[in-house]
Structure 1
Amino acid sequence: MDDPSVESRAVDVFEMRLADIGTVDVAQLVALSVSVRWPHRAEDWRLMLSLGRGVVALDEIGRICGSAMWFPYADSFAAVGMVITSPRLQALGTGHWLMTRVIAACGERSLRLNATHAAYRLYRSLDFKREKTLYQCQGRANGAAAAAVDRSDVRQLSERDLSLLIEADAHAYGAARAELITALFRQSTGTGLLRSGRLAAFALCRRFGRGHVIGPVVAASDADAIAVVAPHVAAHARQFLRIDTHSEGDAFRAFIASAGLALYDTVTTMSLRRGVNDPGPRAADTPMSYAVVSQAFG
């Protein structure tokens, strides 16, 4: 894309300019996310930088005052995330400026993001429409809950399963994310259920933030989703564990709660030009998304 550093704007008493997110130090990005109490480590930022694009707003002395990223999974679709504005500038239009640049850079792509309560009005003003609620559940894992789950058909995934995992994720998410899933797989522990040569369910678990996060989780039923998640709960008993899910009031959510992952917060999944990547109605035995990769990746 064109060099965004040629664009500048006066915000309150600050003269800021936009720059490509790949040109700044990761430590500055970590400091930005810490300023809004997001748990991202340097390693988490590096993963996102390797898979996405983005812009940052810099003040006169090079301090990062805001960021926004997008992950172009297809020519017709991208996920938007890591839209952060320094607390001192949150009411001064910086977020709108960054998002306008992201939308322009993404062209005619359909966009999806997860909006915090603070950013919801911003996205509505940009014509994003509400889809559903995403529930952030976290806490110290209760291994006893996992011990009660039948995991006899669950096995650890290996490199030979990667193509099946990519295919299952594409069907569940509505867009192929081969590069993302491959990168996640190589830093995660994966569990899966295979039936008749097809990956009926899977869950990945990796280091993230304060501990570990489970996601994505893809399954055709609550029972299968619970079966592939339970080994990760057991493996991280008494450790900090997180999962972000759209599931509401079902057996899967009940299991998550019993596993010690209490509801911590909610965000709103929203979309612009919705429909391009919407998988639509599914047959009863078709895998669906039970947990997202992260709020940024979707």
Structure 2
Amino acid sequence: MDDIGRNVRVTLQPTPTKQLESYEVFATPMTAADLPKLHELSIGVGWPHRPEDWALAIELGEGIVARDEIGRVVGSAMWFPLGDAFAAIGMVITSPRLQELGAGSWLMGHILGRVAERGKVLNATRAAYRLYISLGFMPLSPVHQHNGVVGALPAGPRHARVMHPQDAAAIHALDSVAMGAPRPALIDRLLQMSTGTVVERGGAVTGFALCRKFGRGHVVGPVVAESEEDAIALIAPHAEALEGQFLRMDTRQPEGPLRDFLVASGIRHYDTVTRMGLGAVPQAPGPALTFGLVNQAFG
């Protein structure tokens, strides 16, 4: 990445250095060397990300860090490409002492300048919602975080099968349709680190779910299917294999059979954030739809 602060195309016109009352911070490109301090930062605000989760984000995205005068990392922000036309923004964190001093706006100014004309989507916590509204983002839909220790699964559809290596091309195609944009590098990487299930009809894969280690345990996502029934069938083998362990799923699905299944399995509703967009946003034409996110940063 070139020097932070060049070619900024947003109203904020951020500078590489910002004075926050008597506290000066500096914006620098994010690198893998920042991983330990970024992990400390996320722990400080209660996020569950492991160093491995940060490493995946750094591998697949582009970011900046805010450092204080003695080199401590006190803020972060990242973006991830969704094809050539869109971007997902995430991992936006400021240390608690700086949250009320404009650090979030300053970091976002840098990221919006880097993303430039791409359409932008993000998932906003309650604490960050007003910031994103002030930057022109519009609310799109709620995202419901479910997590918990998996118990005995209720009765439900069980027509998914184990993913095979030859399913990879179909999984890429389904994710692009359901996301409304391609993200081949992300899906390739997830296929390397996940177990998977698929639904197949007439010899064609019509849905899939990937499950991997994340945060306090595991996460199921993405989950792409043509119906809630198929989504449940895709999730069930992962939940069954993880009985007694912590499992998370983030979904835009409203109350109904899928979320009832999660709750009955011990994967209870924990929090709600808001999916927001600025400019054009990806559109999913169907019939394949996203029932479970990769995580809140990637979408």
Range into which the TM-score falls when normalised by the shorter chain: over 0.9
Within 5 A, what are the aligned runs for 1:157-172? 157-172=163-178
What CA deviation, in whole Å up to 9, does each residue of 1:62-117 have, x standing for no partner? 10110000001222100000000000100000110010110010010000000000
What is the count of residue pairs matched by the alignment?
290
Say what the alpha-carbon RMSD is for the aligned residues.
1.3
2:297 aligned counterpart, secondary structure: coil
1:248 aligned counterpart, secondary structure: coil
Counterpart code for 1:294: N
The change in CA–CA distance for 1:37 and 1:260 in structure 2 (over 3 A counts) is same
Match 2:249 to one of 218, 222, 243: 243
Residue 182 of structure 2 corresponds to: 176
Question: How many Å separate the matches in 2 of 1:24 and 1:11?
Answer: 25
Residue 156 of structure 2 corresponds to: 149
Match 2:84 to one of 57, 75, 100: 75
Counterpart code for 1:199: V
What CA deviation, in whole Å up to 9, does each residue of 1:105-154 have, x standing for no partner? 00100000000000000000000000000000000112332xx2342x32
Residue 142 of structure 2 corresponds to: 133
Question: How many Å separate the matches in 1 of 2:102 and 2:226?
Answer: 43
Task: Please tell me whether residue 188 in structure 1 is matched to residue 194 in structure 2.
Answer: yes
Residue 225 of structure 2 corresponds to: 219
Residue 270 of structure 2 corresponds to: 264
Contact 2:157–2:229 at 8 Å: present in 1 too? Answer: no
Match 2:63 to one of 47, 54, 57: 54
Task: Please tell me whether residue 293 in structure 1 is matched to residue 294 in structure 2.
Answer: yes
Deviation, 1:263, is: 0.7
Residue 7 of structure 1 corresponds to: 16
Gaps of 5+ in 2: 6-14
The runs of at least 4 aligned residues of structure 1 exceeding 6 Å deviation read none
1:46 aligned counterpart, secondary structure: helix
Deviation, 1:274, is: 2.8
1:92 aligned counterpart, secondary structure: coil
Contact 2:123–2:297 at 8 Å: present in 1 too? Answer: yes
TM-score in terms of structure 2 length: 0.94
Question: How many Å separate the matches in 2 of 1:108 and 1:154?
Answer: 40
TM-score in terms of structure 1 length: 0.94
Deviation, 1:23, is: 5.9
What CA deviation, in whole Å up to 9, does each residue of 1:242-269 have, x standing for no partner? 0000111111111111111111001000
Q: Percent identity?
A: 47
Question: How many Å separate the matches in 2 of 1:121 and 1:78?
Answer: 20
Contact 2:219–2:248 at 8 Å: present in 1 too? Answer: yes
Contact 1:245–1:290 at 8 Å: present in 2 too? Answer: yes
1:121 aligned counterpart, secondary structure: helix
Of 74-83 and 3-12, more deviation after overlay is shown by 3-12
Contact 2:157–2:232 at 8 Å: present in 1 too? Answer: no
What CA deviation, in whole Å up to 9, does each residue of 1:255-290 have, x standing for no partner? 111111111001000000034x2225x4xxx11010
